[in-house]
């Protein structure tokens, strides 16, 4: 891995290059997505079927497009029981964590004749997009669906492509465990458009969540406003802050856990110890040689991997805050003391025995996290992501009398006479 001293002049340029490594939609991609989305919006199911055959090379008819109960039952016969038990444990922990996030409506008497409050309600429906290309991610099904269920969303629609003609059985089992309402065998921009606008077969939803390729991400951006979306997810990333107490083997394995995702993944170590830096560098090479996905991991490490040498842990925290990583590990002797310096991160893993993978799969907090520096202003997916709030306002005549003059004065400043008149006509009544 490239070892960079924090005092080097080009460190800011190098870190910016890594942070901004995500794919951006080209004009060609944007044009394809616009065509697909607009045709699905206007033509519905026929356009969905046509694009599924064109892009996924799968011929489906409307009778086959929805996954049947028989297919879900059959999926249970094609999976390993131990793996299903692990998914059930993960679901239990995810549900328990997100139950703690639930918000409630409230009402408060602010003064005589004035009652204010907030009404919290779940959205009616949500669409879950699940990739079906390079890899199988049942954990993402759990992470996207369970918070919505905890929030109280009634209808959960899942779409996933089936380029091989059938859906991965672990995806179907995870969807069943999490409580998906309906599953459809479509992917790409056509699936996003179908969920955003609705077709005769696929219901329209209020929000779309879940990762996807550049066409899916561009389609989500295109339909935003017609529906809500979670975020535009970029490539995965990890940043590890480590001191002399860290085990080089542990740190190297954690860096590689992200590098194996895809060629655009980023793995960064920030440490005040040159000795640790050199040991981790050597350990990454040793472990990399034995990985099943070593070609992918090698490209990621070579292009977007780095070890940054700093003067101390305070500077390490400053570097991390500037990067705002998706996953941040504090592999230091006193992680809770360092935690106070951390301002920007999607998920924070504390100590030597809390690898990022435990958060990805089993701990309970959501693994749908902001990437590409957006942890500066975005949060992980949560039950809040599937809630909406309405303000409650109640005034009696006496309450309105106390503030009516102020309302009219502000309306006068803004030149909105009718606004002021809503007060005048009420105050004129005896």
Residue 80 above 90 pLDDT? yes
User: Tens digit of pLDDT for each residue in 166-182?
Assistant: 889 999 999 999 999 99
419 is catalytic: no
Q: Is 128 left (phi over 0), alpha (psi -120 to 50) or beta?
A: beta
User: Tens digit of pLDDT for each residue in 69-78?
Assistant: 999 999 999 9
Residue 10 above 80 pLDDT? no
* Closest C-alpha among 250, 226, 221 to residue 238: 250
Would you say the C-alpha torsion 76, 78, 84, 87 has a positive or negative sign?
Answer: negative
Dihedral (Cα; 284, 286, 290, 296), 10-degree rounding: 40
Residue 413 above 80 pLDDT? yes
Residue 22 binned pLDDT confidence (cut-offs 50, 70, 90): confident
The rounded percent of the chain whose pLDDT value lies above 70 is 99
* Closest C-alpha among 346, 348, 389, 363 to residue 151: 389
326 is catalytic: yes
Residue 190, SS3 per DSSP: helix
d(CA 214, CA 218): 6
pLDDT of residue 299: 95
Residue 141 binned pLDDT confidence (cut-offs 50, 70, 90): very high
pLDDT of residue 208: 98
For the sheet with 327-331, list strands across it: 2-5, 305-309, 266-271, 237-242, 327-331, 347-350
β-bridge pairing 114-122 and 387-395: antiparallel
pLDDT of residue 135: 67
Q: Is 197 left (phi over 0), alpha (psi -120 to 50) or beta?
A: alpha
DSSP secondary structure, 298-335, as one string = HHHHHHHEEEEE-SSHHHHHHHHHHH--SEEEEESSSH
Distance of CA 267 to the CA centre of its chain: 19
pLDDT of residue 430: 72
pLDDT of residue 270: 97
To which residue do tokens 């893993």 refer? 349
To which residue do tokens 């059959």 refer? 74
Residue 80, SS3 per DSSP: coil
Q: Please state which of the ranges 20-29, 85-94, 97-106, 165-174 shows the lowest mean pLDDT.
A: 20-29
pLDDT of residue 224: 96
Mean pLDDT, rounded, of the chain: 94
Residue 184 above 90 pLDDT? yes
Q: Which one is catalytic: 283, 326, 329, 356?
A: 326
Q: Which one is catalytic: 327, 329, 356, 367?
A: 327
Residue 134 binned pLDDT confidence (cut-offs 50, 70, 90): low
d(CA 289, CA 273): 25
Q: Is the Cβ–Cβ distance between 241 and 320 less than 8 Å?
A: yes
Residue 9 above 80 pLDDT? no
Residue 24 binned pLDDT confidence (cut-offs 50, 70, 90): confident
| Beta bridge pairs of residue 188 | none
pLDDT of residue 133: 62
For 206, the token pair is: 């209020």
Question: In sequence order, what are the residues at sequence separation of 6 or more whose Cβ sits closer than 8 angstroms to the Cβ of residue 54?
Answer: none
d(CA 219, CA 191): 9
d(CA 171, CA 140): 9
DSSP secondary structure, 228-268, as one string = EE-------EEEEEE-TTS-HHHHHHHHHHHHTT-TT-EEE
User: Tens digit of pLDDT for each residue in 257-310?
Assistant: 999 988 999 999 999 999 999 999 999 999 999 999 999 999 999 999 999 999
Beta strands in 11-123 (DSSP E): 106-111, 114-122
SS3 content of the chain, % helix, strand, coil (to 5): 45, 15, 35
Name which residue leads in pLDDT, 280 or 162: 280
Residue 247 burial (C-beta neighbours within 10 Å; 0-12, 13-18, 19+): middle
User: Tens digit of pLDDT for each residue in 31-71?
Assistant: 999 999 999 999 999 999 999 999 888 888 888 899 999 99
User: Tens digit of pLDDT for each residue in 299-340?
Assistant: 999 999 999 999 999 999 999 999 999 999 999 999 999 999
d(CA 235, CA 23): 8
> How many other CB atoms are found less than 10 A from the CB of residue 69?
8
Name which residue leads in pLDDT, 235 or 105: 105
pLDDT of residue 83: 97
pLDDT of residue 426: 95
Helices (H), 77-137: 81-99
d(CA 62, CA 39): 17
C-alpha to C-alpha distances, 108 to 116, 136, 307, 390, 401, nearest whole angstrom? 5, 48, 53, 14, 20
Residue 418 binned pLDDT confidence (cut-offs 50, 70, 90): very high
């Amino acid at each position: 891995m490239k070892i960079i001293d924090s005092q080097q002049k080009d460190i800011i340029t190098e870190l910016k290059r890594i942070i901004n490594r995500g794919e951006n939609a080209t004009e060609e991609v944007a044009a394809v997505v616009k065509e697909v989305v607009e045709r699905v919006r206007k033509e519905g199911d026929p356009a969905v079927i046509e694009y599924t055959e064109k892009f996924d090379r799968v011929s489906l008819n409307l009778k086959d497009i929805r996954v049947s109960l028989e297919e879900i039952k059959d999926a249970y016969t094609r999976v390993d029981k131990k793996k299903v038990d692990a998914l059930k444990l993960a679901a239990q922990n995810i549900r328990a964590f997100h139950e703690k996030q639930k918000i409630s409506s409230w009402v408060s008497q602010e003064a005589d004749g004035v009652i204010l409050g907030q009404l919290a309600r779940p959205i009616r429906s949500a669409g879950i997009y699940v990739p079906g290309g390079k890899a199988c991610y049942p954990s993402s099904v759990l992470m996207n669906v369970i918070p919505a269920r905890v929030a109280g969303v009634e209808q959960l629609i899942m779409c996933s492509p089936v380029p091989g003609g059938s859906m991965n059985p672990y995806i179907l089992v995870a969807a069943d465990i999490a409580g998906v309402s309906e599953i459809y065998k479509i992917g790409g921009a056509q699936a996003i458009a179908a969920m955003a606008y609705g077709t005769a077969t696929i219901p329209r939803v209020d929000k779309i969540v879940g990762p996807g390729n550049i066409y899916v991400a561009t389609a989500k951006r295109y339909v935003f406003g017609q529906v809500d979306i979670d975020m535009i997810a970029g490539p995965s990333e990890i940043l590890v802050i480590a001191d002399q107490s860290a085990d080089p083997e542990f740190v190297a394995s954690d860096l590689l856990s992200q590098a194996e995702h895809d060629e655009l993944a980023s793995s960064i170590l920030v440490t005040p110890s040159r000795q640790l830096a050199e040991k981790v560098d050597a350990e990454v090479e040793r472990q990399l040689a034995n990985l099943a996905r070593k070609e992918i991991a090698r490209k990621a490490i070579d292009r977007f991997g780095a070890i940054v040498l700093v003067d101390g842990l305070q500077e390490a925290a400053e570097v991390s805050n500037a990067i705002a990583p998706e996953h941040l590990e504090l592999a230091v002797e006193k992680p809770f003391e360092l935690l106070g310096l951390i301002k920007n991160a999607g998920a924070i893993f504390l100590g030597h025995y809390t690898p990022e993978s435990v958060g990805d799969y089993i701990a309970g907090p959501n693994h749908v996290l902001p990437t590409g520096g957006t942890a500066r202003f975005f949060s992980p997916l949560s039950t809040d992501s599937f809630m909406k709030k309405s303000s409650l306002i109640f005034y009696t005549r006496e309450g309105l009398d106390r503030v009516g003059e102020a309302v009219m004065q502000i309306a006068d400043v803004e030149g909105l006479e009718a606004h002021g008149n809503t007060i005048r006509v009420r105050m004129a009544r005896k």
